[in-house]
Amino acid sequence: IRVDIEGNVSLRGSGSFRVLIDGRPTILDASDALQQIPASTIANIEIITNPSAKFDPEGTAGIINIILKKNRKSGRSGFANVNAGLDDKYGIDGTVEYKTERYSTVLSVDYNRRNYSGNDIDENRTTRDGVTSFLYSEGESQRGRINMGLRAGFDYFLTSDDILSFGARVGDRTSDRDASQEYDEWTSLAPEPVIYTNSTERERSGYFYAIHSNYQHKFGMKGHELSARLSWNYRESDEMSSNALLNNAAEITEGRRTTENGPSSDFSSRLDYERPLSKTSKMEFGYTTDVDNSTDNTALFEFDTDVNDYVEQTAFNNYSKYKRSIHAIYGMFAGEYKSLGVQFGLRGEYTGREIFYEDSNDPFKIDRWDYFPTIHSSFKFPGGQQMMASYTRRIDRPRGWSLEPFETWIDAYNIRIGNPALQPEYIDSYELGMQTYFGKNLFSVETYFRQTNNKIERIRSVYADNITLHTTRNVGKDYALGSEFLLNLDVTKKWNVNLIGNLYNYRVEGTLFDESFDRESFNWGSRISNSIKITRDFQLQVDGSYRSRSVSSQRRESGFFMVNSALRYEFIQKQVIATLQIRDLFDSASRESVSEGPGFYNFSSWNRQSPMVMLNVRFNFNNNKPERRNQNQGEMDADDDF
């Protein structure tokens, strides 16, 4: 897992993955869902890069399953966290639990605010009809987000073999970006630059809620189970982007504002049945359904200097409605023979989708069956070594604005239009890995190959002088061949080293603007984490990570290096724990990218203000004791970016 300096999460170099919370889907986008969950409430994180047929095949890279903490002891327990940092960062969260032999309840609340200041540099060049237009901008920007939420859960043990669970979560999220930049604009025919100030405001907000219920029944035979789940998710989404050009007197001479809003909902259900066939084999069957509905309204406002206000341009307003239902059945067989273990699965999914657009008589429809085979195998060697191999087929369906066939202004220099004819990506994923233990130490290596068909990429082209059009297309295929390795080593009783690396060759090929292309890059990333117990209650952690450059069909992005450190001290028999974090210690995590194609060139740079300092204090109550984490997990990311 990699997190860039803007908080975007990728898994094996891909931003397309599925996020589950306690095995349940969430209506939020992957990065939003991960940022919404306080780190203090997370018990464990499962990364499933080649899921079996039991899981939803959505997402290129796999699944990240967030498992929330649950108290296993009877009685009352709880904890609270308070955190604060430089540059207007602060937050609070808390959890209380009560458990008896017949039932357990949990209630959590959280509020977190994060702000990031930085400097932006942007160079843009477009050529039309033999005339080249230039645009250079530089200035400061402020990016921030506010997350708040309330979670409640109730488990009732009907019998020793029957558990009934209910849960709910409600929350609100806001992210914004404000920037003030100085612009120089000129052309090859008029080289004298025009200088002005540009003020940009962007905001994305909305509340959400989710409710779910689970039932599990265990039959007399061990491993013989039946489970059912229902869940409902709903969210509101309001987006606003405002861009204004100011003269030397700070008066608006030209401005444009766009708004986009609309609710979305998701209903899902599943039924899973598992039955052992013998001591070494079992079968599983299941059915799932997922129904999504959303509407979207966009509006455009332009600044009128006569009335000194923004006036709605109704001719550019648009409305769309999206409906999709997915019904799936799956079956799996798993067995072991001596040191060999195998698992075979097949999942069939029916997708029905309709997209309605204003002023369109014919909706865009899809009625399609897809099939997803999965194969997993393992072999145990003497001495604790194990080899694993797997193959899965996955899908990544287009969503959101990438399907909207109308123009939406992002700001004064960028406009986007979707493509309802987009085809889903189909991914063939192969893995071969081995892990071995030597004492308490672990070494694992995994080689993987991933081929994506109908590769979807965001494409740029020239819309007008210094104005870029953004859209999405199926450009062809891409391939990723690489290896991951992990070493967890206890150098001494008080010093643990955790080293993770990922090296892969990436290639994308296809056709764009009636021309064939073939681009390739060797990418690698690594992270080393050192955890040192200075005393029984005092711990130091220092980690460093590097991410190499990468390419896509039109874009290349620079790499960056970052060092973080943390100090943790436990007071009063672990009832109070203080953690001081310093992220990007040497202010080295700047980001640069270049995009170019027929008639355009763009260079973009963003340097976040660093280092970032955060102090978190945790209070434990009653039976709640902090879990002694594996040293390779550490405390570095607690209450900050994922």
pLDDT tens digits for range 197-237 = 888 899 999 999 999 999 999 998 889 999 999 999 999 99
Per-chain mean pLDDT for the chain: 87
Q: Can you give 139-156 as a three-state secondary structure string?
A: EEEEEEEEEEEEEEEEEE
- Residue 337 falls inside a structural domain: yes
- Residue 362 falls inside a structural domain: yes
Q: Per-residue pLDDT averaged across 606-614, rounded?
A: 88
Owning domain of residue 387: 2-622
- CA angle, corner 212, sides to 209 and 214, nearest 5? 165
627 compared with 492, residue with greater pLDDT = 492
> Phi and psi at residue 314, in whole multiples of 5°?
-65, -25
Residue 49: per-residue pLDDT: 81
- Residue 630 falls inside a structural domain: no
User: For 288-325, how does the pLDDT look when each residue is reduced to its tens digit (9 = 90+)?
Assistant: 999 999 999 999 999 999 999 999 999 888 888 999 99
Nearest to 492 by CA among 533, 528, 527: 533
Task: Report the C-alpha gap between 499 and 473 in whole angstroms.
Answer: 38
Residue 250: per-residue pLDDT: 82
For residue 539, the domain's CATH number is: 2.40.170.20
- Residue 536 falls inside a structural domain: yes
- Residue 369 falls inside a structural domain: yes
Provide the residue type at 379 as one letter. Answer: F
DSSP 8-class letter at 513: T
- Residue 641 falls inside a structural domain: no
Alpha-carbon 340 to chain mean position: 35
Task: Report the C-alpha gap between 7 and 582 in whole angstroms.
Answer: 16
- Long-range Cβ contact pairs of 334-338 (< 8 A, separation 24 or more): 334/281, 334/282, 334/283, 334/284, 335/277, 335/278, 335/280, 335/281, 335/282, 336/280, 336/281, 337/280
- Residue 43 falls inside a structural domain: yes
Task: Report the C-alpha gap between 151 and 393 in whole angstroms.
Answer: 35
- Residue 444 falls inside a structural domain: yes
pLDDT band at 191 (very low <50, low <70, confident <90, very high): confident
Strand partners, 213: 166, 230
- pTM for the complete prediction? 0.84
> How many domains, the chain?
1
Nearest to 228 by CA among 179, 269, 196, 278: 269
Q: Is the pLDDT of residue 383 over 80?
A: no
DSSP 8-class letter at 13: T
